[in-house]
A and B are shown apart, each in its own frame.
Chain A
Amino acid sequence: MNRGHEVLKLRPLKLPHHQTGHLKNGLTVHLVPRGPLPLVAVRLVIRSGSAFDPPGRLGVGDFAARLFRRGAAGLSADQISESVDFVGANISGFANEESVIVSLSTPAQHFEPMLEMMSRLVLEPDFPQSEVELSRRRTLAALTNDLDDPGSLADRALVRSTWGTHPYGHEVLCGKKDVLAFTQEDLKYFHRERLGPRISHLFVVGAFDSKRVMPAIERTFGGWKGGPAEPGAIPSWGGLARPGEVLIVDKPEQTQVQLRIAGRGVPRGHADHFPLVTMNCVLGGGFTSRLVTEVRVKRGLSYGADSSFDMLSVAGTFTISSFTRTESINQLIDVVLGEVKKMREGGPKKAELATVQRYISGLYPGRLETNEAVSGAIADVVHYGLNDSWISDYRERIAAVTVREAAKAAEDHLFGLERGIVLVGNAKAIRSKVERYGPVTVWRPSELE
């Protein structure tokens, strides 16, 4: 069924009305009233993510944000959990590379008391010493236990071998040494100096009372003071830390090898965004992508294979993920590299492009179905300095990409020899087989602790 020559007609997307305002303390507030279910989602985005963690204290922001719930404004962890859990709400805090994010999901009838609780956790965390120690012990155990999961080992090794010393390489949980070093004062310093209303946006989406919502936000977040006047800057990136190399994380008991191949990508909002996204979908996005067809359907080498662009404010990466039984690792790598080369040199075909344009456009509205999804989508637009038309015109802009633009994007952005390969598996069985792809280094899993 070739629809390549048809103009893609789309039913209008009913975009929720989005209002923006500011509190006197500098906090930006975004309101999106939305039904029909009696639920509300709140998302607070503070531009102070792991990229800003200082050396020796990597991961301190995430560690602190997770502790908000374990003691604040004189309330104990049990008291907080009891009141949040009681009404069927959730509040959680964490950090990613660029932001600290605190989110609340609550039945609408409990919105105000839960917003009140959320604000106390953000404004007045106590970081009780006993909770700091407990969290440290749990975090260290989780870091160690993660070494049993080949997929997450591969992802962690990839972050290190890709970003190197760039702040985006401050993996949220960077390692035992730093976690052991956190003090209560580090956490208080982080809270006092790195968080504040002027670098923050609060998104409230759902079935709230439109008359009461702003007074409620004033009452709860209006007293928040201090912190940075503006977000910090993230330096530009010089490229892959270990270009052309092969890194094996040795797990002798594995009968399967996890594979990641990474290259340089683009920052969010790049001029080539739409051609890149459509081209990537042909390569490794959907269930009929070239990678799935070649790896899974034609050869039965794996259960899955995909490719993706990860785009952050100042830089991004392009990554392919798959896995296969130990004996087939060369075949898998050769097929994957071959497909990347073919796409870089020839671009997608017209029919392929038409397919993914409908695929991406057709499913896009599904990314705006829940309050949490809407708050996330709008938060991204704000965070990356895009505008609301990024959402409203997304489908049309995907549909407008031409074969030539997609091919150019592939030629410009897909890796050639400058790529890093990460493997997690039995090093003894695979080392000699993969030397042909570049100099090999073998790590023990514990080097990723």
Chain B
Amino acid sequence: MNFPREAARAITLTQRMRRHTRTRRSKTQSSMLPPALQAIADSVIEAKLPNGMRVRLLPSDAVPTCSYYTFFRVGGRNERPGTTGISHLFEHMMFNGAKKYGPGQFDRVLESSGGTSNAYTSNDVTVYYEDFMSEALEQVIDLESDRMATLQVTPKMLESERRVVLEERRLRVDNEISGLMDEELSSLLFKAHPYRWPVIGWAKDIENITREDCLAFFQTYYAPNNATLYLAGDFDPSEALALIRKYYRGIRAGPAAPSVIDSEPEHKGERRAEVRHPAQAPSLMIAWRGPPAGHPDCLVLDVLQYALAVGQSSRITRSLVYEQELAVSASVDWTWRFDPGAFTVALELKPEGDPQKAEAALYAELQKVAEQGLEPRELKKAQNNLAAHLLRELATNNGRAHSLGTYELMLGDWRQGLALPSRYESITKEQVQATAAQYLTPERRAVVTLVPLSEVGT
């Protein structure tokens, strides 16, 4: 679950850098790309600043705007018990003042320059972006580099932002059933890995994070060598790069961020939990640990996700929602993560729905895939949809910067993202069968059931 700073907006970053930077226009290495993707690949300009910050430029003059994305490799995964939620709280603090642009100035200056910003924090990354009119590019670079270099954490702003985040937590978790269930599911599926706590953090931890915690966090994770910058839109690439160098030059590289140990023990047997809460209807969330991002099985699970739950003709939608009417909706969330993450099925039931029946019907569908794989046409359908999904992601400046940046962080190279359709094409029904059989087994699952409180008479 990602926690945006505000529904539907975003932010960016900055850093100082030193001396030489190398740039290169990307060469089309994979000759197999379709023309539209090839054109995007050919347009990308890459640079690495001496302080380690990676820069990617994606020029396009379709509309006179730009999107500026800064990705930091830090999220819930890098936290510890006692200060859970610090990544997300810190994301909020990034808007509360640096040396040149003080409290309240970031958004004020940006908006008055014709731009808007937002940010989100996930288990693995913290991502800031700005969308703005092209004329504001230098202003945006100035704002982002200012806060990467000199963020100020004042006690007053920290207290105010802490209250905002606690209110956000009440909104998304305490007063939202899917939030409650998701929180329960993560701590059931993961015993040792930091994925077990919610990205927004436990309420007591949010209440107790100190200014010193924030400053140490900033030093460690917001150094330029932990950041990747994507700029997409209507700009002159050489001017843009010169500006980025100028503003980020002075930001020094930091030490490498501490590595995260994945101590997750082997999952030996089904785990179950209940959430009892006032509700109209029961619902279910069931998860299995998948492979880490970059593992070939990730792509097979992408195909499986689409075959199971994307579109009215997908397997569990057709079977559980339309044919057997055991669920009102069925969805699969399979988000790649740095370490093995969750493949999650969510079933929303009718008010009088029977969770046991719905669960059994789901397992029967999974069993079929594990035994027989997919029909050739079903496999092709998933491949077609994954390819169309990528095209739609690439239709806007914001989408290009966000998706290619995410692919680079997750797969090591944005080219891997553009090559995904051809990699999906090569997946066979046997692979889908084997992958379903390997990962989605009864003894590896975690199941959370929502028991509506009216039912248990409380």
Residues of A in contact with B (beta carbons under 8 Å apart): 1, 3, 9-14, 36-39, 69, 77-78, 81-82, 84-89, 105, 107, 134, 137-138, 141-142, 144-145, 147-150, 251-256, 286-288, 293, 296-304, 323-325, 354-356, 358-359, 361-363, 365-366, 368-371
Contacts and interface: CB of A to CB of B under 8 A. Distances in A.
A325 B170 contact: yes
B314 interface: yes
Given A85-B311, A288-B108, A147 B280 contact: yes
Interface residues of B, number: 79
A355 B174 contact: no
B205 interface: no
Interface stretch (B339-347, B382-390, B410-418): B382-390
Interface string B142-168: 000000000000000001111111011
Given A86-B384, A150-B175, A363-B116, A369 B348 contact: no
Contacts of B175: 150, 254-256
A401 B388 CA distance: 42
A10 B114 CA distance: 10
Interface stretch (B133-141, B212-220, B287-295): B133-141
A81 B116 contact: no
Interface string B103-117: 010011101111111
A309 B104 CA distance: 26
B84 interface: no
A363 B132 contact: yes
B116 A324 contact: no
A366 B63 contact: yes
B391 A359 contact: no
B313 interface: yes
Contacts of B277: 253
Given A11-B64, A85-B312, A147-B280, A77 B112 contact: no
Interface of B: 6-7, 9, 34, 36, 39, 61-65, 104, 107-109, 111-117, 131-136, 159-165, 167-168, 170-171, 174-177, 234, 277-281, 310-314, 318, 321-322, 325, 328, 348, 350-351, 353, 377, 380-381, 384-385, 387-389, 391-392, 394-398, 453
Given A11-B135, A148-B280, A134 B325 contact: yes
Given A11-B64, A134-B322, A302-B164, A88 B111 contact: no
A274 to B, nearest CB: 17
A331 B235 CA distance: 45
A355 B111 contact: yes
Given A85-B381, A86-B380, A38 B391 contact: yes
Given A253-B277, A363-B131, A300 B64 contact: no
B136 A362 contact: yes
B64 A13 contact: yes
A363 B384 contact: no
Given A144-B280, A148-B177, A302-B164, A369 B63 contact: yes
A78 B394 CA distance: 30
Contacts of A137: 325, 350
